[in-house]
Amino acid sequence: MSTPKIAFIGAGSVVFTQGLLADLFAFAELKDARIALHDIDAERLSTAEAAARHIAAERGARPRITAHADRREALTGADFVINIVQIGMGEATRTDFEIPARYGLRQTIGDTLGVGGIFRALRTFPLLKALGEDIAAVCPDAWLLNYTNPMAMNVQYLAEATGLTRVVGLCHSVYWTMRDLSDLVRVPFEEVTYRAAGVNHQAWVLRFEHDGDDLYPRLDALIAADEQLRRRVRVDMYRRLGYYPTETSEHSSEYVPWYLGHDSEIERLRLPIGAYLDIVDENVASYEKTRDALATGAPLPVEGTMEYAPQIIHSITTGTPRTIYGNVPNHGLIQNLPARGVVEVPCLVDAMGVQPTRVGELPPQLAALNRAYLSMNDLVVRAALEDDPRHIRHAAMMDPATAGALPVERIWQLCDDMVTAHADRLQPALRALLG
């Protein structure tokens, strides 16, 4: 491939854009890439452009950087599209927490499942459909690398609503879980062999080895000896299910009915209710700090993030083979999960593109949890594809944490309140009130 063009959609997520660019420009073969930045917020777009030029200079890169208020202009001729949008930004996220909280529904992150995940998806789908149409029109051979949550819902919607096939969802949870586990058992990460599979934010470490030896017994001994380790949701799930989950305790607590509905479990497992609202504030502060540093010429750190998108771009561009973890439509990759659902599996990446690995069957207890997750996802996607507002309520009814906390009538009333609050961001047919 000649010099690639990489379009960033939602480039105003400046801190994330910075990390991705630092990773991209660390590759010698990508130092002259064409970078097209798009955002609907003019100030954030200007800040992203300034940050990109600063990072390129610090990395000794010579990219062609352009900034575009028009999305299709940014996409024209792109080889790779990185989607990092957040529809509604912090205001919408606060709504996702504050309205459910009035019903007594507890959330920690609220971006993947649950009421927060449902409505984050529904307000993102119209953008994804328009983005898919633009890609089909001006860069039909591009790879769409999606970082926007809720990951599995968004990738399923893209596959079914747009017909795009070169789509992969990317998340760093598997990588950082394995880094953390390696540190915990005191084995260098580079020497660890592992395999994980499942769904995004609820995948499972199926193999965890060093020189052919299973490292799970060493992890078991550490957990048995450390009471504080046992006060984490993901450790509690591991002890009961037999395989370590690849997402944080804060995330994991929201995808099952066992924890957030019980005061004693919140205390035992130290669950921070509403934690993501603090992250929203931190993200705004980080953006403002970056903006002000660029404006005044103050030093700005350039740090890589080890994200998958730059590695994928490098592998496809140069033919260098790598294994990454990607979120893709199942189609038999995990036999005991729904075919239409989006699964997270190892993927080979080289000049031929992103090639998912067939995993086979998950242990039945893991597949059971994943199926509940994918069933809720499917209802949210069907609500949008079929213009059926009832499926929004069906999804909330099937969500384990929501169903465990509220009677069905209150779930429908909550959905009405959420629809009213987010109505201007939802497709028209989904704005109906049914409670």
Q: Which two tokens stand for residue 246?
A: 């690849």
Q: What is the mean pLDDT of the chain?
A: 95
What b/e sequence results for 337-362 when a residue is b if at least 16 CB atoms lie within 10 Å of its CB, and e otherwise? bbebbbbbbbbbbeeeebebeebeeb
Q: What's the domain range around 118?
A: 5-170+298-309
Residue 375 lies in a domain: no
CATH of the domain at 110: 3.40.50.720
Indicate whether 79 belongs to any domain.
yes
In a domain, 50, yes or no: yes
Q: Tell me if residue 262 is catalytic.
A: no
The answer to the question of residue 361 being in a domain is no
How far apart are the C-alpha atoms of 243 and 157, rounded to whole Å? Answer: 29
Number of domains forming the structure of the chain: 1
Q: What is the pLDDT of residues 231-279, one digit of tens each?
A: 999 999 999 999 999 999 999 999 999 999 999 999 999 999 988 888 8
* pLDDT recorded at residue 242: 98
Which of the residues in the chain have pLDDT under 50?
A: none
Residue 1, pLDDT score:
59
The SS3 assignment for 398 reads: helix
Spatial distance between the Cα atoms of 38 and 283, rounded to a whole number of angstroms: 19
Q: Which pairing describes strands 64-68 and 34-38: parallel, antiparallel, or unpaired?
A: parallel
Residue 391, in any domain of the structure:
no
| Digit-coded pLDDT (tens) for 387-424 | 999 999 999 999 999 999 999 999 999 999 999 999 99
Q: Which of 38, 172, 201, 251 is catalytic?
A: 172
- Domain annotation covers residue 267: no
Residue at 319 is within a domain: no
Q: Residue 165 falls within a domain, yes or no?
A: yes
Q: What pLDDT was estimated at residue 42? A: 95
